[in-house]
Amino acid sequence: LLRGRFQHLVTTPNPIALESEPIFEKENATLVILARNSELKGVLLSMKSLEMHFNTRFQYPYVLLNDEEFTNEFKGRVMLATNAPVQFGLIPRDHWVQPAWVDEAKAEQSRERLKAQNIIYGDSISYRNMCRFNSGYFFKHQLLQQYRYYWRIEPDVKYFCDINYDPFKFMIKNNHTYGFTIALYETPETVTTLWDSVKEFMVKYPQYIANDNAMDFLSDDGGKTYNMCHFWSNFEIADLDFWRSEAYQTFFEFLDNTGGFYYERFGDAPIHSIAAALFLPKHKLHFFRNIGYQHSIYQHCPSSYEAGSNTCSCSWWNTIDYTKASCLPRYEAMMSKELGMTASPLPW
Ligand code: GDP
Ligand code: MN
């Protein structure tokens, strides 16, 4: 009698076990964080936010990278912040430091020039190393070789919404390559020669330019000039194979050879964005409008319409999307033209 009556208690799975085990089959994907030992607190904040809103349920593994060895304290505290597997990697020196062929006198002039112009990180060598690493090397790290997709995470960022679906599955299912949440304008002083180099590249390697590309996101005059729009690369959900492709490899080498990472201060955001916009057909780009996200002074907060079944703890009116700082209106105008709709006018 007891058995029959309490049968449901015996056969109901243990709820605690359910909570700590992945409910879904995982994709071949990882959460990547580049960070310094001094950024431990910021890394823990970002992880706490991501774990709470997403990864406690999905259990994607982390890869943390650093140009110096992570300390035991750093590793220990990061491992306590998640149940998911964590790997820590050291970046090979030749993937990080300013290459010997770079003319240091010229690089120093650039640092002084940008500093005098009050450009953020204008005088920083390590920031330039970081931008070059994120542009040309992170996907070559040994710990990332086994993975196809990644989600880039930075210290001190915040995710606002409960993400109740798997963005990696979404990318795969919809045949997307590059996903973003915020699009804005680059500081022109950091990329003064970049567009000339891009144009040279397009002439030399027309075979890499997609027919149905997103040039209209990058340029307001059909490619003559760069409008500084880019996807903010501190958030990326993307396909590592794109960066490993011949087109992107050739592009990175070409730009690196100009010395622009050191003679200017090329950011990885415009480099990634220009490549994604030109080498991919537009439909391979994706705006994750239902993922609320904050980095420094900017945030994307979904409206309840945009959030769909994700619930967000941010104010929908506090979002960069339709402000003057945002390139999203350009992106949306381009995409709606693609769908044969009348392009909505820019809101200013
Ligand atoms: P910002 O977002 O452009 O203001 O620049 P951040 O200071 O946030 O740097 C971007 C990313 O690179 C973050 O993930 C940082 O932790 C990382 N980063 C920047 N400089 C260094 C560095 O010198 N060493 C390491 N290991 N990571 C760095
Ligand atoms: Mn940052």
pLDDT in tens, 97-143: 999 999 999 999 999 999 999 999 999 999 999 999 999 999 999 99
Round the average pLDDT of the chain to a whole number and report it: 93
Q: Evaluate whether residue 4 is within a structural domain.
A: no
Query: Is the entire prediction scored with pTM above 0.80?
Result: yes
* Residue 234 confidence (pLDDT): 98
Q: What angle do CA 325, 327, 333 make, to 5 degrees?
A: 140
pLDDT of 10 > 90? The answer is no
State the distance from the centre of ligand 2 to the C-alpha of 252, rounded, in angstroms. 22
Helix (H) or strand (E) holding 50: helix 40-50
Number of domains in the chain: 1
Which tokens belong to 91?
Answer: 């970046």
Give ligand 1 pocket residues (Cβ under 6 A): 34-36, 39, 66-67, 126-127, 130, 154-155, 234
Q: What is the mean pLDDT of residues 220-241?
A: 98
* Residue 156 confidence (pLDDT): 98
* Residue 14 confidence (pLDDT): 47
CB-based contacts of 146, cutoff 8 Å, min separation 6: 28
Q: What is the pLDDT of residues 146-191, one digit of tens each?
A: 999 999 999 999 999 999 999 999 999 999 999 999 999 999 999 9
Confidence of residue 337 (pLDDT cuts 50, 70, 90): confident
pLDDT of 13 > 70? The answer is no
53/160 Cα distance (integer angstroms): 8
213/170 Cα distance (integer angstroms): 21
Residue 200 appears among annotated catalytic residues? no
Q: What is the mean pLDDT of residues 49-57?
A: 98
Residue with CA at minimum distance from ligand 1 atom 7: 127
* Residue 4 confidence (pLDDT): 52
* Percent of the residues in the chain that have a pLDDT greater than 70, as a whole number: 90
Q: Which of 236, 264, 306, 332 is catalytic?
A: 236
User: Which of 36, 186, 187, 236 gets mutated to test ligand 1 (max ligand atoms within 8 A of its CB)?
Assistant: 36
Domain harbouring 234, CATH code: 3.90.550.10
State the distance from the centre of ligand 1 to the C-alpha of 134, rounded, in angstroms. 10
20/194 Cα distance (integer angstroms): 47
235/265 Cα distance (integer angstroms): 20
Q: What is the pLDDT of residues 25-37, one digit of tens each?
A: 999 999 999 999 9
For ligand 1, what atom is nearest to the CA of residue 68? 26
- Amino acid letter, 40: L
For ligand 1, what atom is nearest to the CA of residue 39? 16
User: Which of 154, 261, 265, 298 gets mutated to test ligand 1 (max ligand atoms within 8 A of its CB)?
Assistant: 154
- Encode 127-141: b = buried (16+ Cβ within 10 Å), e = exposed: ebbbbbbbbbbbbbb
State the distance from the centre of ligand 1 to the C-alpha of 35, rounded, in angstroms. 6
Q: Evaluate whether residue 69 is within a structural domain.
A: yes
- Residue closest to 238 by CA, chosen among 203, 268, 196: 268
* Residue 263 confidence (pLDDT): 98
Alpha carbon separation from 145 to 15, 96, 235, 244 (Å, rounded): 35, 18, 20, 10
pLDDT of 11 > 80? The answer is no
Alpha carbon separation from 165 to 132, 279, 283, 315 (Å, rounded): 32, 28, 20, 22
- Let me know: does 152 contact 234? Beta carbons within 8 Å: yes
Domain that holds residue 201: 15-338
